[in-house]
């Protein structure tokens, strides 16, 4: 059969997004004639792009910055998780309809357990940021039993909206801390998550304005930034002897979940991890 099934990612900018390398390696490993397209779409062209997705019969999509919220208006339905989070990073075609899902938080949670060996139940979590990634991660951590959640963000209205939505979806009452100057990590925190894009390529010299001096020795520092895999934040945490979880973990596992969501087959996790690490190391 010569006809390939199509999936892809829409974003702006998207040239440095390595998801296609990971998914193409997975398709090849399991013998699927599928192709993953990396497509740059300006915000004003998103509606036309989704019409194109429908016209091409594409089997699914990933969405990245800045389309995760805007795409919702162009879809037929959302899963309960995506509706609770208010952002979509994965779409699948089902009986001709486009269904939005959010696998970011699920990918983070899977990596937290599998790669960091940390169960979020009973944990005190600090999340930097209040965007789509922060919402997804916070929602999944709350559903998994995190007992305290602090949202650190510069814009109060955005953080307060996230906290209200989180409470409605999960019942967990998070608290907001204004991000003014260096944020001092509290000594009773268990997990610190950078859910902002600070430190993402090409701004690899940037680091979230946090002070790790008071961080407890058991603190796990996690970064949603995947490129570079070792951000300045993670390097600083390692220098203090703290456990870390890099953004590759979340990216791989959300990709694994997306692969299974689209194809109905088990994903070759090891192949996907290896392809992603090779791509980001320039091999």
Q: What is the distance between the alpha carbons of residues 229 and 112, in angstroms, rounded to a whole number?
A: 15
Which entry of 68, 106, 238, 273 is annotated as an active-site residue? 68
Nearest to residue 276, comparing CAs of 111, 55, 157?
111
68 given a catalytic annotation? yes
* DSSP code for 231: -
* Among 217, 209, 208, CA closest to 187: 217
Any long-range contacts for 97-103 (C-beta under 8 Å, 24+ apart)?
Answer: 98/50, 98/53, 98/54, 98/61, 98/74, 99/75, 100/71, 100/72, 100/75, 101/261, 102/132, 102/136, 103/254, 103/257, 103/258, 103/261
Please state the three-class secondary structure of 100-129 as a single string: EECCHHHHHHHHHHHCCCCCCCCCEEEEEC
Residues annotated as part of the active site: 68
């Amino acid at each position: 059969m010569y006809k390939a099934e199509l999936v892809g990612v829409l974003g702006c900018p998207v040239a440095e997004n390595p998801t296609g390398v990971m998914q193409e390696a997975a398709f090849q490993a399991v013998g699927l004639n599928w192709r993953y397209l990396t497509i740059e779409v300006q915000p004003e062209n998103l509606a036309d792009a989704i019409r194109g997705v429908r016209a091409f019969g594409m089997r699914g999509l990933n969405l990245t910055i800045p389309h995760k919220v805007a795409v919702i208006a162009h879809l037929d339905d959302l899963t309960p998780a995506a509706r609770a989070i208010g952002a979509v990073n994965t779409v699948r075609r089902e009986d001709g309809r486009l269904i939005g899902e959010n696998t970011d938080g699920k990918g983070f949670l899977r990596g937290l357990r599998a790669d960091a060996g940390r169960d979020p139940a009973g944990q005190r979590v600090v999340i930097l940021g209040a965007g789509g990634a922060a919402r997804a991660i916070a929602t999944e951590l709350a559903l998994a039993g995190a007992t305290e959640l602090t949202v650190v963000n510069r814009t109060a209205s955005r953080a307060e909206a996230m906290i209200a939505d989180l409470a409605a979806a999960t019942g967990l009452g998070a608290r907001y801390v204004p991000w003014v100057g260096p944020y001092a990590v509290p000594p009773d925190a268990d997990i610190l998550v950078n859910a902002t894009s600070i430190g993402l390529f090409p701004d690899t010299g940037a680091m979230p304005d946090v002070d790790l001096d008071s961080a407890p020795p058991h603190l796990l520092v996690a970064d949603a930034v995947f490129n570079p895999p070792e951000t300045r934040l993670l390097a600083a945490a390692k220098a203090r002897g703290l456990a870390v979880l890099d953004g590759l973990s979340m990216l791989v596992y959300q990709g694994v979940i997306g692969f299974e969501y689209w194809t109905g087959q088990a994903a070759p996790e090891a192949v996907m991890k290896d392809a992603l690490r090779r791509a980001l190391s320039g091999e």
